[in-house]
Every structure is written in C-alpha cells, then in structure tokens.
Amino acid sequence: MSVPAHAATSADAEIATAERYRAAMQSARWTGPMLASNAETIPKGHFYTEPYFFDVISGGEHSPGSSGFYQYGLFNGFTVGLQPNFALGTEQPNRTIKLGDFKLLSQLRLTHFTPENRIPTVSIVLQEAIPTGKHDRLDPSEDGHGSGSYATEIGANIQHYFLLKNGRLLRARINVLKSFPHGSDVTGRSVYGTGPGFRGHANPGSKTTLIGAVEYSLTKEWVLALDVIRESTTETTIKGRYGSVGPQVKQTFPSSRHVGFAPAIEYNWSDRTGILLGVWINPKGHNSPASVIPALAFSRFW
C-alpha cells in the first residue's frame, strides 16, 4: 500500500525539523541563568556543582556571602541535592564566616524535551529548609543569619527550547515555588528584633516565588541570560514575653513583595564546565528595600 504524498512530505518535514533542533542543541552550551532553576534532572550516578559568590548591597551596606547547588542523580529522572548558605561579615566583631540556613533538595522529572518530542520539560520539586543559621541568643553586636524555622517548599520547574531562524537557540524557564515555614522558638536578642530576656515563638511568613528566564545562545560558548522574579511574603508574627512575669508581647511584621530582574552572561568552555557573571537588581518594593546583588557562579558536571 502506498503512502499518501502529503503524509510523506509531513514526515520528511518533521525529520528535518528534528535534525535542525539536534544540530542547534549540539552547538550550544549552557550554565543556566542567575535565578531560575533547571527543569532537567541529573543523569543517574552523576554529580552537578554550582557554587555562587555574591554581595548584597542595600542601603549603602555590603553583605557578601556564598550559596550554590550540589546535586546528585539518584535515578534517571530523580535528583537530590543540598543548597548551603554562608555569610561573610565585613566589620568587627562579625568579620567571620557564618552559617545560614541550608536546604535539602529533590526534583522529579515528569516530561522531557528532545529534538523529536518537543514538549516542555516539567519537573516537580520538594525542598526542606534546615535552620542551621543562628537566629536567637545573639550577642549585643552579633548578626544573625538564620530564620530558626524549618520550612517545606513545593513547586514546579518548566523548561523549553525555541529554534530561531538564524539556527541559534532560545531557552526559556519558569519556576514556581511556595514555602510553608513551621515556626520557631525565640530566646533573647534575635533576627526578629527581640531583645535580651525575651522568650516566645515566631511564625515566619510564607513566601511565594515566581521566576521567568530566557537564555540566548550567541555562540557555542557564549550565552546571554535574563531573569525576571517576583517574590511575596505574608506577614510574620512574634508572640512571647520579657521575663517570667512580663506582659504578653505580640508583634507583626507586614507582608512584603517586590519584582526584580537579573541580566547575566555565561561562558562555557566545555560541555561540563561554565561560568556566569550577573547582577540581580531589586527596585524598592512594598515593604521591601532596594538592593543590588552582583554574583559569580561556576558550574561543573561530573
């Protein structure tokens, strides 16, 4: 039985399109944008490391630190990992490296983009923030760098490729993440503004994060990237008292929200190794101060 001409033509066109995508993907290397996470998972048995070094500049003050992603492909389509956070004090007596809160990461891939099957890659993520940073019992001149609260985070990562007329790729990402803090006991001077003698409980606000990002592959090695991020946090409440017989104290920190953007440039000198230089710019938002955060990241696939 013969195949209709229009069916053969359609099949040939599909094969040609898949070949163009495959060639474009082979001629592009990626580090990833500054903020949006990858929807792809790490192949089974492999590691991925991407340490970040940054400086939060707000109100004329500098707060340098480091974060990053350290991930392992436990199974094909399922990745686990760790996101540590460190802060570096710039003035005495806080001129030292301090631990912030860490995160345990997991990601399950549901769909997978290929040149033949050009549907977006979609993954669901489940994360747990671990209160490793100090948040209370602070000395009079000591800075805190933690929340004191465990927090469960759930979300989704989406990624898709677009083949442009010049044969180069545009890669797009969307991240949606929602956190659910569990609350924390607070004693003495703390990151929540309490003073010596205080004993009580803090309920940090829930944070919702939405990120959209695009990357344009200029050449095999060079990539331009841009993130746009919106973060909103519900109100935080603190209840307790000073001393054993002091009056009940209740304080509420209002909700906040802001929109920022992060242009960056990537250079990838191999399929396994790359570097990113970018700056995260946050104009003043609702109950959120303006900030500028230059950052440098190194990516390595093992």
Can you tell me the distance from the alpha carbon of 238 to that of 234, in angstroms, rounded to the nearest whole number? 13
In this prediction, residue 94 carries a pLDDT of 64
Can you tell me the distance from the alpha carbon of 181 to that of 176, in angstroms, rounded to the nearest whole number? 17
In this prediction, residue 246 carries a pLDDT of 83
- Assigned token pair, 77: 């389509």
If DSSP states are collapsed to H, E and C, what string results for 52-120? Answer: EEEEEEECCEEEEEEEEEEEEEEECCEEEEEECCEEECCCCCCCCEEECCEEEEEEEEEECCCCCCCCC
Q: 292 near 262, Cβ under 8 Å?
A: no
In this prediction, residue 214 carries a pLDDT of 98
- The residue type at 282: N
- Assigned token pair, 150: 């465990």
Q: Give me the phi and psi of 130, to 5 degrees please.
A: -110, 125
In this prediction, residue 6 carries a pLDDT of 54
**Cβ density class 36-61: b for 16+ within 10 Å, e for less:** bbbbbbbeeeeebebebbbbbbeeee
In this prediction, residue 11 carries a pLDDT of 79
Give the start-end residues of each E strand in the chain: 47-58, 61-75, 78-83, 86-88, 97-99, 102-111, 121-130, 151-163, 169-181, 184-187, 198-203, 207-217, 222-233, 236-242, 248-253, 256-267, 273-282, 291-301
In this prediction, residue 256 carries a pLDDT of 96
In this prediction, residue 4 carries a pLDDT of 57
In this prediction, residue 8 carries a pLDDT of 58
Can you tell me the distance from the alpha carbon of 280 to that of 78, in angstroms, rounded to the nearest whole number? 29
Q: Is 140 left (phi over 0), alpha (psi -120 to 50) or beta?
A: alpha
Can you tell me the distance from the alpha carbon of 88 to that of 63, in angstroms, rounded to the nearest whole number? 7
- The CATH code of the domain at 5-301 is 2.40.160.40
In this prediction, residue 259 carries a pLDDT of 98
The model's pTM: 0.90
Can you tell me the distance from the alpha carbon of 147 to that of 124, in angstroms, rounded to the nearest whole number? 25
- The contacts of residue 192 (CB under 8 Å, 6+ apart) are 135, 136, 186, 202, 236, 238, 251, 253
List the pLDDT tens digit at each of the 302 positions of the chain: 554 555 557 778 888 889 999 999 999 999 999 999 999 999 999 999 999 999 999 998 899 999 999 999 999 999 999 999 999 877 666 678 889 999 999 999 999 999 998 999 999 999 999 999 999 999 888 888 899 999 999 999 999 999 999 999 999 999 999 999 999 999 999 999 999 999 999 999 999 999 999 999 999 999 999 999 999 999 999 999 998 888 899 999 999 999 999 999 999 999 999 999 999 999 999 999 999 999 999 999 99
In this prediction, residue 7 carries a pLDDT of 54
